[in-house]
Amino acid sequence: MDIHMKQAPSDFFPASHQPGLFRSSAWLTAWNETWGTHPSTRPSGDAVSLSSGTTLEEMIVRTRTYKGSILPITTAFPLGLSTREMPSIRSEYFFFCNEDDHLSKTITRYLDNALQQSWDQFYIADVLRSSPTYHLLLQAAKARQLGIIHAEIEPTYAIDLRQQDFTTYLGNLGKHTRLRLFNRRQHLKKQGPVKVQNIWPDRTAFFQLLNDFHQRRWGKACYRGRNRDFINLLLDRSTAQGYEVDFSVMSVSDTPVSVVFDIRYQGRQYNFQSGYQENYCKSVALGTLHFGYQIEAAFNNPAIQFYDFMAGKGKNCDYKKKLVNRTDEFATLLLVRSHWLKQAYKLQSLLRRT
């Protein structure tokens, strides 16, 4: 059986979930207070300040880079996003607002306001290709003679919890995936008593575990510098507004062996990060097994409709693809204003084809 259920792609991120965690006031405020002061930002003399009524959702940021180390490029992008120059925590699912009858006017107004500032290209990452936002944005960009570059197309992954229960979901998985996600729980229990618990709000203990696991696997901590400050501010603001944080720790004989960091918001459970002790038990994939507990709990929570793995692949394989029953695609767009830059991108495209 094909685990990817045949449903309307536009239902991948329902209107009731929009604009989503990454365009929420908690996210944008935390980003503005940590990354908004980054030295790469270029102050704009004609930019409208918040005091004059511009909201965080409407604000744009500008950075200066050089193409070929010679030609200067000013890139504008919506506040809250991660870029090469400002590598904040990735902001996925870009929406201008809730997708309603006013969306076309909202996008038109946003682009027209952005065009009042000076920039060569406008960067917008992780727009769902199935969404009205994506199609109306392209339409508005073409009407304004902006060049459109699809800088990247990338899959995003989620489990739709609405049409089935956990047992049915397991039955639709491949045999090997089901084994890793659920059946080998008994193997782990042979190592000692297994416990899965949410240790929120103990940030110190959780982030120490997560950073330690990441340091061993990837050679660097998960959250550090501005991103450490950003995630702490996000947690402060999101929980004050009713979001739910899950600092899930899986322990064997009271020794932590795996962690999963999720945030629940507007019917969606976003999986932010995970980490585990490598080579703990050869017969058990600790990370996948821990996800099994998280997914089962999400199925049992009537307030959650999607368990969202978002974009990104594992170190050795695309494990998310095997776990989910819904997929969509993100488009990262460059809306090019500068004539010379349009020509440069055309030349670059031709060279790639030869």
Separation of CA 11 from chain center: 18
Strands 121-128, 326-336: pairing is antiparallel
281, 188 Cβ separation under 8 angstroms:
yes
Place of tokens 């809730």: 98
| pLDDT computed for residue 68 by the predictor | 67
Give the C-alpha separation, 137 to 335, whole Å. 10
Q: In angstroms, rounded to a whole number, what is the distance separating the alpha carbons of residues 57 and 80?
A: 9
Q: Determine the Cα–Cα distance for residues 345 and 171; give it in Å rounded to an integer.
A: 48
Residue ranges in the chain whose pLDDT is less than 50: 1-3, 5-6, 44-51
Residue 267 CA to residue 236 CA, distance in Å, equals 20
Q: Beta strands of the chain (E only): which ranges?
A: 60-67, 71-78, 121-128, 147-160, 194-198, 244-252, 255-265, 268-276, 306-310, 326-336
Q: Could you count the other beta carbons within 10 Å of the beta carbon of residue 278?
A: 11
Torsion of CA 206, 207, 209, 212, to 10 degrees: 180
- pLDDT tens for each residue of 23-41: 999 999 999 999 999 998 8
Peptide bond into 201 cis (omega under 30): yes
CA distance 290 to 168: 19
| Three-state secondary structure call for residue 195 | strand
CA distances from 162 to 12, 209, 226, 270, 299 (A): 12, 33, 37, 16, 8
In this predicted structure, what is the pLDDT of residue 69?
Answer: 65
What does the longest C-alpha to C-alpha distance in the chain come to?
A: 66
Is pTM beyond 0.95? Reply is: no
What residues does 157 pair with on adjacent strands? 310, 327
pLDDT of res. 99: 85
pLDDT tens digits, 37-71: 999 887 543 343 444 557 899 999 999 987 766 78
Contacts (Cβ under 8 Å, ≥6 apart) of 80 = 22, 23, 27, 28, 31, 32, 56, 91
